[in-house]
Amino acid sequence: MSDTNTIVHDVIVVGAGLAGTWAAKIAAEQGVRDVAVLSKIHPLRSHSGAAQGGIAAALGNVRPVPDSGPRGPLEQLPDGATPVDNWELHMFDTIKGSDWLGDQDAIEIMVKEAIDIVYEYEHMGCVFSRTRDGRIAQRRFGGHSAPRANFAADWTGHVLLHTIHEQALRHGVKFYSEWYCMDLIVEDNICRGVVAMEIQTGKIYTMRARAVMFGTGGYGRAYKITSNAYANTGDGVAIAYQAGVPLMDMEFVQFHPTGLYKHGILMSEACRGEGGYLLNANNERFMERYAPDKMELAPRDLVSRSEQTEIDQGRGVEADGQGIYLDLRHLGREKILKRLPQVRELAIDFVGVDPIDALVPIQPTAHYSMGGIPTDADGQVIYDAEGTPVTGFFAAGECACVSVHGANRLGTNSLLEASVFGRRAGYAIARFLESGASLQSVSGDPAEKQRQRVQRLMAGNGKSSESVEKISQELKTTMTNQAGIFRDGERLIQASGTIHRLRERFANARVMDRSSCFNTDVLSALETEHLLSFSELIVAGALERKESRGAHFRTDYPKRDDENWLKHTLAYQTPDGPRLAYKAVNIDWEKYPPQERKY
Amino acid sequence: MTNNGKMQSVTLRVLRYNPEVDQKQHFQEFQVEYTADTTILDALHQIKAEQDGSLTFRRSCRHAICGSCAMNVNGKNILVCKTPLRTQLDRKNRVTIRPLPFLPVIKDLVVDRSAFWEEYQRVRPWLIAPPEAPEKEFRMTPEEVEALHNAETCIMCGACYSSCQVVALNKKYIGPHALLKAFMRVMDPRDTEPGERLDEVSGSDGVFRCHTIFNCIDACPKGLNPTEAIETLRKLVQKRQAFVAARQERQKTLLPVESSTAPAAAD
């Protein structure tokens, strides 16, 4: 049964950001005794902690000062006054933001549970910023029609992550810190465990469990300019795909409008939520031309396209004309220090500019992965358009595709999604185990295949082989130039060819580090293999989708086409490359039928 | 900014150790090209990609929020992701990089932080809230929130811990990071066990061990002040009884007036 190469737990969660940690904490709280979380970096290093601006929930704690206009100041809701916000408004904003590709049943669940989960965070110790009367403070965010971004200055993700991690420790969750998941074991559509490497020793184990959950994060690292951490290499989505699970809506990649120029590091949308402007080389607030109503607080896909258009038409800033200016100066010193302290430091550290008295150069940056592993609203991974479950396999957060974000996510809905669906997955896993789910047998030695994968990377003398880093850089350049903000058939076909050639070259790639102890050279190679694997699907989905919707914009098909394309893409692995299928979008045709999307 | 875009060359001296081949740590020198924008982390990546793939270090977010990449540069603990290389050149145009001091080295610049995390867990970093949760939020004033900022933004990078002379001499010392966390919980008006927490940090491994050398303040890349937090805890230990009584009093007003009169539903 068990040997020194096999580890057994009731539940194995992969990824220790908000989604995975919520699931683990809830499962443990519900009485599952043996819950383990694997993370390739220490849990508190997870990228959820980098989120800045807020978590959405229609608490109705604040409102705009009456008659002060759409960008005027906010005040705490006076006693007895009717709140300006409710979950229905949040729901409509999210549907519209998704360009009607979000599943409306899942969105309804998310926006309703939003209110409760923000209070739960508060009860668990999260230190939110406050209104004068002690309620959770709220600010505006792009695409939201009311101030509903609940925040802790501009380090909201950081405090949420620390809070949920602390509570998971309190409930006895076991963390495997710096363990790298390499494979998902699925036989007969039943998930039986994972294969993982202990990074410090290089030892590879088969890890069996009654249920496996992925909260492995997004795939923004496929792009050259990105806000994502080095860790965000989409391992989970690639591993699931290799194991036969389809991936949904992979072509939808969000570009955030305000990445620091050349670095891509995020300057929170809170900069614009608090009233910041975007300026081109002529000192114009160019958003007037693209979103006269919402201006800088239009959703991210629209603002990023507007910036890129300004840049492409020669109105960009900085030496190479590839930048745009973010202007915060009029917010004043006090507000910047109080509300945006982290972004101020980032601007000073990375571009040498203090936003209190200078313009900050920014540019669009690959930020969020709308696509991922298809699940139902309980985190149960599904195999097809009919919702057939992959038994024992759950997923939530950015690696999953419920889908609540559809073709474009609204800011502050990601911390929300990871939390709500992570929590729901935790409850679903506890029910699944309680219903009698048992440990399933595993054929052969799945770890052996992964050991060979590592041995191949270390074979030969390494000198004359392909460089992993070069392949990785070429991929990122290709994805940025040919599958980025603006796409067309010709460039996507080129990208597809390039990725195919890079995959062939990767077969000859070797690492320089041959040691078994903490071999980050091997990890980078495995991560690059994952990037190559799912990037093919981003391009394939984008090439096939002959319309423009949300973050996916085809210059050769610039209109949304509901007649043919109001559907999710499902990509399946076959020996001949990806096979695409489609899945209907859940729409309430009475209440929320598709409309023209204008801001 | 000067020299933006102009390439220059510098020597990086890196203290290396691979347990599979090395008896002890040794310096290796690398030449790297840099511009005004290049961070120390960029330079390490450049070496790893182009010269020696076995060079080993931790990193993730690259913007000073994940806490992975604390290292010792020219004798000072810093986050290499947010530090421009050009600011760290010594008189011989070199930069010297070592792993965090006083911690066991796993490989090259990767240290074993186990003791650091054990201390973090020892102070029970989680909030212990009143058993009856209100329907909405506990009411905290902006000032009470402000008072926690000194601890709230700690990223657990270990820069303070590994610069602390007391940690260096006494492995049982709780350490500045965990005491800062304890401070955060003690000061939080929602926490119900400030007295027990003060007892826990007032033992022989706790706040009275701190020699107020201030290394932790110098080391903190987030500009936090663990020493001040430790000082506060010391004072509160002396006033434990009054502080606990005040907390109990404060917790009666954590709920807004309208819902504190009616019993809140248990969550």
pLDDT at A460: 76
pLDDT tens, B3-51?
Answer: 456 889 999 999 999 999 999 999 999 999 999 889 999 999 999 999 9
Mean pLDDT taken over chain A: 96
Find where tokens 């038409």 sit: A313
In chain A, residues with a C-beta closer than 8 Å to the C-beta of B267 are 120, 123
* pLDDT confidence bin for B1, thresholds 50/70/90: very low
Band the pLDDT of A69: cuts 50, 70, 90.
Answer: confident
In this model, does residue A341 exceed pLDDT 60? yes
Interchain proximity B56–A133, CB inside 8 Å:
no
Strand locations in chain B (E): 8-16, 26-34, 70-73, 76-79, 94-98, 105-107, 110-111
> Chain B residues with CB inside 8 Å of A158's CB?
65, 153, 155
User: Which residues fall within 8 angstroms of residue A264, CB to CB, at 6 or more apart?
Assistant: A225, A226, A227, A363, A365, A366
User: Which of B60, B110, B188 faces A231 most closely, judged by CB atoms?
Assistant: B60
The predicted pLDDT at position A464 comes to 61
CB contacts of B134 in chain A (<8 Å) are: 123
Mean model confidence pLDDT for chain B: 93
Min CA distance, B137 vs chain A (Å)?
6
The predicted structure's pLDDT at residue B2: 40
pLDDT at A557: 98
Verify whether the Cβ–Cβ distance A230 to B60 is below 8 Å.
yes
CB contact under 8 A, A123 and B142: no
Decide if pLDDT at B267 tops 50: no
Gap between the Cα atoms of A166 and B120, Å rounded:
10
B180-212 confidence digits (pLDDT tens): 999 999 999 999 999 999 999 999 999 999 999
Cβ–Cβ contact A515 with B under 8 A: yes
With CA atoms as reference, the chain A residue closest to B67 would be: A45
What pTM was computed for the model?
A: 0.96
8-state DSSP, A3: -
Q: Which pLDDT score, from 0 to 100, does residue B261 have?
A: 40
Give A-chain residues touching B59 at CB under 8 angstroms.
230
Report yes or no: B44 and B13 within 8 Å, Cβ to Cβ: no
With residue A76 as reference, give the H or E element that holds it: strand A74-76
Q: Residue A78 burial by CB count (10 A; 0-12/13-18/19+): exposed, middle or buried?
A: exposed
Query: How does pLDDT run across A439-449, given as a tens digit for each residue?
Result: 999 999 999 99
Q: Kindly list the residues from chain B whose CB atom is less than 8 angstroms away from the CB atom of residue A122.
A: 137-138
Mutate to test the interface with B, among A118, A169, A518 (most CBs of B within 10 A): A518
d(CA B267, CA A120): 9
List the structure tokens of B244. 């606990």
- Contacting residues of B for A131, CB less than 8 Å apart: 142
Cβ contact B56–A518 (<8 Å): yes
Quick check: B63 and A41 CB within 8 A? Answer: no
Sketch the domain layout of chain B as residue ranges. Answer: 2-111, 114-251
Distance, CA of A412 to CA of A151 (rounded, Å): 9
Please report which confidence band the pLDDT of residue B68 belongs to, taking 50, 70 and 90 as the band edges.
very high
> Which CATH number, 3.60.10.10, 1.10.1060.10, 3.50.50.100, 2.60.40.10, labels domain B114-251?
1.10.1060.10
Q: Which positions of A are annotated as active-site residues? A: 300
Q: Choosing among A25, A29, A123, A354, which should be mutated to test the B contact, i.e. which has the most B CBs within 10 A? A: A123
Q: Are A535 and A578 in contact (CB under 8 A)?
A: no
pLDDT of residue A70: 78
Whether residue B105 contacts residue A101, with contact meaning beta carbons closer than 8 Å, is answered with no
The three state secondary structure string of A131-155 is: CCCCCECEECCCCCCCCCEECCCCC
Å between B250 CA and nearest CA of chain A: 13
Nearest to A477 by CA among A458, A498, A451: A498
Q: Which of A423, A426, A378, A436 is nearest to A402 (CA)?
A: A378
ipTM passes above 0.85? yes
pLDDT digits (tens, 9 = 90+) for A148-168: 999 999 999 999 999 999 999
What pLDDT band is residue B259 in, cutting at 50, 70 and 90?
Answer: very low
Residues near A317 by Cβ (< 8 Å), separated by ≥ 6? Answer: A279, A280, A281, A323, A324, A325, A361
CATH number for the domain running over B2-111: 3.10.20.30
Nearest to B222 by CA among B64, B39, B60, B62: B64
The stretch B45-59 carries a mean pLDDT of 97
CB B26 within 8 A of CB B50: no
**Residues in A 215-254 with any Cβ partner in B closer than 8 A:** 229-231
In this predicted structure, the answer to whether residue A33 has a pLDDT above a threshold of 90 is: yes
CB contact under 8 Å between A230 and B59, yes or no, is yes
The reported pLDDT for the residue numbered B257 is: 58
| Contact criterion met (CB < 8 Å) for A352 and B1 | yes
The verdict on a CB contact (< 8 Å) between A169 and B126 is: yes
Q: Quick one: average pLDDT of A119-137?
A: 97
Give the C-alpha separation, A496 to A514, whole Å: 32
Interface list for A 63-122 with B (CB within 8 A): 119-120, 122
pLDDT of residue B151: 95
Distance from CA of B209 to the nearest CA of A (A): 26
Confidence of residue B258 (pLDDT cuts 50, 70, 90): low
Q: How far is Cα of residue B263 from the mean position of the Cα atoms in its chain?
A: 40
A555 touches chain B (CB under 8 A): no
Query: What value does the mean pLDDT take over residues A369-380?
Result: 98
- Give the chain B residue whose CA is nearest to the CA of A43: B66
According to the model, what pLDDT value does residue B5 have?
65
Please name the residue ranges forming H helices in A30-138. 87-97, 104-124
- CB-based burial label for A593 (10 Å; 0-12, 13-18, 19+): exposed
> What are A563-596's pLDDT values in tens digits?
999 999 999 999 999 999 999 999 999 999 999 9
* C-beta atoms of B66 and A119 within 8 A: no
How many whole angstroms separate alpha carbon B199 and alpha carbon B177? 18
